[in-house]
A and B are shown apart, each in its own frame.
Chain A
C-alpha cells in the first residue's frame, strides 16, 4: 500500500498569491513527515519536518506545513509565492520505526508565473 500520496502532479500559481502543495499519508502509528524541494538536475533540499508537538511546522524559505492527523494530511503552504519557488516538491514519510526509511510521494511540480 502506498504510504504517501501527492494528488496533484502540477500546481500553478501567480506570484504573490498563496500556494498549497498537498500531501496525504497512510501509515499506522505516529508518522514522521518531511518536505523536500528539488531544482532541475539537482539533489533534494530539506524544507521542514514534523516529528511531534505543534501541528504547524515552519521551515526554510518561508514555507510551512500543517500536520492534520484526522485528515492524515501534511500540506505545504506559503503565504506569498515567488517565481523562484518554481521547482519539484516531494513529501516523504517515515513509518515511525526506529530505523530511518523514507517513503516518497511522486512529486508535485510547482510553477509560479509572474
Chain B
C-alpha cells in the first residue's frame, strides 16, 4: 500500500447524497485508476487517467465522476445517480499507464449507504 493513500477508510452516506473519495500518490506516477470491489465479483474499473486533465470511463462509470487537476490526486465522486454504491473502492496508480506497467493499489475506502 505504500505511496498511495486513500481517505477516509470508512464512509457512511445517506441515500441521495454525493460523496467524494480521496486518492493521493507520491510515487510520481502518471496513470491513476479507480476500481470497485463487490464480494464474488472481483474488481471492476470505474475510471482511469493517464495524464493530468485527462480521464476515460471504465466499464461501470455511470453514477460516478472524477477529476485529475494534479498529478498526485485523483478524487472520485459517487453521485446520487449511482443506484447501488455500497462497495469497497480501490485506487491504483502505475508509472506510465502502459499495458506492461504494474498497478499499485491503495488501502481502499469502504462506502456504506444507509
Contact = CB atoms under 8 A, between A and B. Distances in A.
Contacts of B103: 34, 46, 100, 102
Contacts of A46: 102-104
Contacts of B94: 100
Interface in A23-68: 32, 34, 36, 41-46, 49, 51
Nearest to B43: A104
Interface in B79-109: 90, 92, 94, 97-108
B66 interface: no
Contact of A42 (B98, B104, B108): B108
A82 to B, nearest CB: 21
B101 A100 contact: yes
A57 B97 CA distance: 22
Contact of B99 (A44, A94, A106): A94
A92 B45 CA distance: 12
A110 to B, nearest CB: 15
Interface residues of B, number: 30
A9 B40 CA distance: 8
Nearest to A94: B99
B105 A45 contact: yes
B11 to A, nearest CB: 14
Q: What band does the interface of chain A fall in when counting residues whose beta carbon is under 8 Å from B?
A: 20 to 34
Contacts of B44: 104
A41 B108 contact: yes
Nearest to A6: B42
Interface of B: 1, 4, 6, 31, 35, 40-45, 48, 50, 58, 90, 92, 94, 97-108, 110
Q: Which 8 interchain pairs have the tightest Cβ spacing?
A: A43-B105, A104-B42, A44-B105, A104-B43, A94-B99, A106-B42, A43-B107, A100-B99
Interface of A: 9, 32, 34, 36, 41-46, 49, 51, 90, 92, 94-102, 104-107
Given A42-B1, A43-B107, A100-B103, 17 more contacts: A32-B100, A34-B102, A41-B110, A42-B108, A43-B4, A43-B108, A44-B43, A44-B90, A44-B105, A45-B1, A45-B105, A51-B100, A96-B99, A97-B99, A98-B98, A102-B103, A104-B43
